[in-house]
């Protein structure tokens, strides 16, 4: 073992605040150094969160999207895709499934649409979900960039968490993975995150890991942004290419999937150490690379899982990337499979609780 390197990692891990250089060093860690990083992050998770995992029953209610992000399989420009939009009854039936199975919370996710019809529809759904669950189901929204008034209406109707990944805080990289037009504007994304936080949402963000052109310097900058912005929740996952997207042409320059996976685990470990009491999602994309990918993330720092409760017949059409897992499972399969897997990670699923971000509570009181 290289004692000099070991000391360096140990020394970094005792610091209260990490510099960008420290973070890069942690993201580069291999062998014993990597083990030290994961040991530290899992100790911190145990101390601040416990060995607990909360569910957000995920309803991917529509793959219709008005945007054209260059990495995403459901982008507007992808014509090789059957578009779907769940009926309100189908969404409410999925919500009822979550409630009956004592999931503490739901996450409603879709392609991004703006305008009165969409805003009214989501508001109406929020009211109905609150009604059918006697106000007991917590609700996370992940439906992209919207006007502040819309965010406010949804907050007042009962949504209390919002996930909006910044995708990358390096503006040059952001502009390489999005079309350069007013619909895909970095500053608007930042404004949206700020608005969500000001309105009072538990605000979550994150990035994709292993994107073309992305460097460790970029990723370290992303983590420093999350700390500085004081996020309550983090959702990060590996970038996985999709054949029908413009970014596919850069595939040959990508790091291998296994390395993207490993780097994602390191990112999760580092943010857990930097932000001890936030909620961290174990993203589904991890499982697309490693069958027990999400469980590995739970072991080293994540505490939120999103079992997919979208009706099975639609799942195949919400393909953000190739080889998306579990597209032919039922909601019941998904739950029992996840529960067994969580115990593999020596963790326990907590039913019937919201499992809110402790960081949010501290930040607000």
Check binding of 268 to ligand SAM (CB under 6 A). no
Supply angle C-alpha 139, 43, 288, rounded to 5: 55
Q: Would you call 140 helix, strand, or coil by DSSP?
A: strand
- Please identify which residue in 112, 218, 222, 262 interacts with ligand SF4, judged by CB under 6 A: 112
Check binding of 237 to ligand SAM (CB under 6 A). yes
Q: Which of 243, 214, 212 shows the shortest CA–CA distance to 321?
A: 243
Q: Looking at the DSSP assignment, which residues form a beta bridge with residue 176?
A: none
126 interacts with, out of ligand SAM, ligand SF4, none, CB within 5 to 8 A per kind: none
Residue listed under structure tokens 């054949």:
243
Helices first, then strands: H and E counts in the chain: 15, 10
Residue 14: how many CB atoms within 10 A of its CB? 8
Q: For residue 76, what is the enclosing H or E element?
A: none
User: CA separation (Å) from 226 to 24, 67, 204, 246, 320?
Assistant: 15, 24, 9, 28, 24
- Please identify which residue in 22, 33, 112, 222 interacts with ligand SAM, judged by CB under 6 A: 112
Name residues whose C-beta falls within 8 Å of residue 8's C-beta, 6 or more positions apart in sequence: 25
| DSSP label at residue 180 | S
Q: Rounded to the nearest whole angstrom, what is the least distance from the CB of residue 232 to ligand SAM in the complex? A: 17
Q: Rounded to the nearest whole angstrom, what is the least distance from the CB of residue 64 to ligand SF4 in the complex? A: 9
Residue 73: how many CB atoms within 10 A of its CB? 22
- Please identify which residue in 208, 254, 280, 306 interacts with ligand SAM, judged by CB under 6 A: 208
Check binding of 204 to ligand SF4 (CB under 6 A). no
Q: Rounded to the nearest whole angstrom, what is the least distance from the CB of residue 131 to ligand SAM in the complex? A: 25
- Please identify which residue in 37, 263, 285, 286 interacts with ligand SAM, judged by CB under 6 A: 285
Residue listed under structure tokens 């990692």:
9
Binders of ligand SAM among 59-78, rule CB under 6 A?
A: 71-72
Site string for ligand SAM, 132-171 (x = CB under 6 A): ----------xxx-------------------xx-x----
Check binding of 65 to ligand SF4 (CB under 6 A). yes
- Number of residues engaging ligand SAM in binding (CB under 6 A): 19
Binding region for ligand SAM (CB under 6 A):
71-72, 109, 111-112, 142-144, 164-165, 167, 208, 237, 239-240, 242, 285, 320-321
Instruction: List contacts with ligand SF4 (CB under 6 A).
Output: 65, 67, 69, 72, 74-75, 111-112, 144
């Amino acid at each position: 073992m290289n004692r000099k390197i070991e000391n360096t990692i140990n020394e970094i891990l005792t610091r209260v605040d990490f510099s960008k250089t420290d973070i890069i060093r942690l993201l580069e860690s291999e062998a014993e150094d990597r083990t030290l990083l994961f040991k530290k992050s899992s100790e911190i998770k145990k101390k601040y969160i416990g060995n607990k995992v909360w569910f957000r029953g995920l309803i991917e209610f529509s793959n219709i999207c008005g945007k054209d992000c260059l990495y995403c399989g459901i982008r507007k420009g992808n014509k090789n895709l059957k578009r779907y939009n769940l009926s309100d009854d189908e969404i409410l039936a999925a919500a009822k499934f979550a409630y009956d199975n004592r999931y503490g919370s739901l996450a409603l996710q879709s392609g991004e649409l703006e305008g009165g019809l969409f805003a009214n529809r989501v508001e109406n759904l929020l009211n109905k979900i609150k009604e059918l669950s006697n106000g007991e189901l917590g609700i996370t929204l992940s439906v992209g960039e919207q006007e502040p008034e819309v965010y406010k209406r949804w907050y007042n109707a009962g949504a209390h968490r919002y996930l909006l990944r910044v995708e990358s805080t390096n503006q040059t990289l952001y502009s390489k993975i999005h079309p350069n037009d007013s619909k895909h504007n970095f500053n608007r994304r930042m404004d949206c995150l700020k608005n969500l936080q000001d309105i009072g949402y538990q605000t979550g963000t994150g990035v994709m890991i292993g994107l073309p052109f992305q460097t460790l310097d970029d990723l370290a900058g992303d983590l420093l942004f999350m700390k500085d912005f004081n996020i309550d929740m983090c959702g990060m996952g590996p970038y996985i290419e999709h054949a029908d997207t413009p970014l596919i042409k850069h595939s040959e320059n990508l790091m291998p999937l296994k390395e993207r996976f490993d780097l994602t685990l390191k990112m999760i470990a580092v943010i857990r150490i930097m932000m001890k009491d936030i909620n961290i999602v174990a993203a589904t994309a991890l499982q697309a690379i490693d069958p027990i990918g999400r469980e590995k993330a739970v072991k080293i720092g994540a505490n939120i899982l999103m079992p997919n409760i979208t009706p099975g017949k639609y799942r195949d059409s919400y393909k953000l990337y190739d080889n998306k897992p579990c597209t032919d499972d039922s909601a019941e399969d998904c739950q029992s499979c996840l529960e067994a897997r969580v115990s593999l990670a020596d963790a326990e699923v907590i039913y019937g609780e919201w499992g809110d971000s402790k960081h949010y509570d501290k930040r607000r009181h």
